[in-house]
Structure 1
Amino acid sequence: MLNKGGWKEPKASRQLIYLGSLITSNGKSEKEILRRIGIAKTAFTSMANTLTSEEIRSLKCSVWSTLLFGCETWTISKAMEKRLVATEMWFLRWMLRISWMKKAQVKKDALDRRRQDERREREAQHAAREAAWAQAAQAAQAAQAAQARNN
């Protein structure tokens, strides 16, 4: 519609992307979640050749951060929750080279492997903390011995 000055008035937009998140006029998050799933799948396929079953941590760092960007503001319905879980299973099945036809076993295998990887990661962090503590205790003991010799 032309104004008196000869320029068109902008139409009211039903959706816009603001700070990387899709804002819709109805305030629902379905379109944003579907958009994020698409972006995450694109990120996953671009690095799929480098990911192996041992690199779930890389999946979390790059793909999950892309998928879950802005998730604090989402209103998630049961259907969208299922979509997000299905996306996670899709990533894990692809990484573990498991056919989509083995649905029941896939979920159990993928979740078991993920739990094992997380347990290994926690054990490694615990061992690193123990080593650091032992080293600090040894340094404190050496400092006390040196102080006792000086006195």
Structure 2
Amino acid sequence: MRKATEDRPRGIAWGPSGHIEDCDFADDIALISSSQMDLQEKTDRVGRVARCVGLNIHASKSKIMKVKTASSTKTVLCDVELEEANDFKYLDSYISADGNIQKEISTRIGLAANAFYRLQNIWRSNILQMKTKVEIYRSNVRSVLLYAAETWRTNKKIESRLRGFEGRCLRRILNIHWPQPITNVEVSRLTGINNIVDEAKQRRWRWLGHVLRMGADRHPHIALRWTPQGRRRRGRPLGTW
């Protein structure tokens, strides 16, 4: 990446006077540009430099996401048009062009439900104490459900889905079935588990405190007060956490 971007910046304005060209994790790389021309040039250069050191970029596994642009020009890598996607999975989380996390929430609930189902023998056990079952639920199910919750932008619909899923799980652990009447407050008291929406909010606040304590040159700290290039459309903007 240093060789591919050493001649001039092709990324986006970042911080007071810098630019950011890419976001990397292990062998995953996300190229970032503010124009189609810059992105195509950067893609060509990265592909060319990579081949010089024996690396080949897999075109069929590469995706393009365009955020609030009318450009219809395709991005090409090795004579192959890259697929354009409105959302894709990156570092085990779904990222959407419009900032919507409905697909991410559905995926999280599905993975957590699968983890819960695979532990049916634990929930049915008459040997294990309720405290033990609840701790297993926290570590093996709730942790899957709230993965990356620090960055979620939730609303009442999403919060209702989270509460509904966890309520069904906890009632199953308590062996309470319909039509036995029991309130969510009573379920929380019997299991000792706090409201999952409050847990997600606490995680967000802890992450915010962590970011505020970072140095001013760290990317999360810069992103907190970053103003994107371009002009925002008229109307009320989307709320963020």
TM-score normalised to structure 1 length = 0.67
Aligned partner of 1:121 in structure 2 is none
Work out the CA distance in 1 between the residues paired with 2:144 and 2:154: 17
Match of 1:27 in 2: 99
Structure 1 residues 88 and 8, CA gap change in structure 2 (3 angstroms): same
- Once the two structures are TM-superposed, the CA of residue 49 in structure 1 deviates from its matched residue by 1.3
Q: Tell me the equivalent position of 1:109.
A: 186
SS in 2 for 1:27: coil
Q: CA deviation at 1:96?
A: 1.1
1:46 partnered with 2:118: yes
TM-score (norm 2): 0.43
By percentage of residues, which structure has more strand?
2
Q: Give unmatched runs, 5+ long, in structure 1.
A: 119-151
Is 1:9 the counterpart of 2:87 in the alignment? no
Residues 1:79 and 1:7: Cα distance change in structure 2 (over 3 Å): same
CA contact (8 A) 2:76 2:82 kept: no
When the two chains are superposed, the root-mean-square deviation of aligned CA atoms in Å is: 2.7
Q: Letter of the aligned partner of 2:190 in structure 1?
A: R
Query: How much identity, in percent, do the aligned residues show?
Result: 29
Letter in 2 for 1:36: R
**Partners of 1:87 and 1:36 in 2: CA distance:** 11
Residue deviations 1:28-79 (CA, integer Å, cap 9, x gap): 1111011101100000001121135611011001101111001111110101
- Tell me: CA distance 1:16–1:105, structure 2 relative to 1, closer, same or farther (3 Å): same
Q: How many residues align?
A: 115
Determine the C-alpha separation between the residues in 1 that align with 2:93 and 2:77.
34
| Mapping for residues 87-102 of structure 1, pairs under 5 Å | 87-102=165-180
Q: Work out whether residues 75 and 82 of structure 2, in 8 Å CA contact, stay in contact via their aligned partners in 1.
A: no
Pair member with larger Rg: 1
Letter in 2 for 1:47: L
Structure 2 residues without counterparts, runs of 5 or longer: 1-73, 195-241
| Cα distance in structure 1, aligned partners of 2:136 and 2:149 | 20
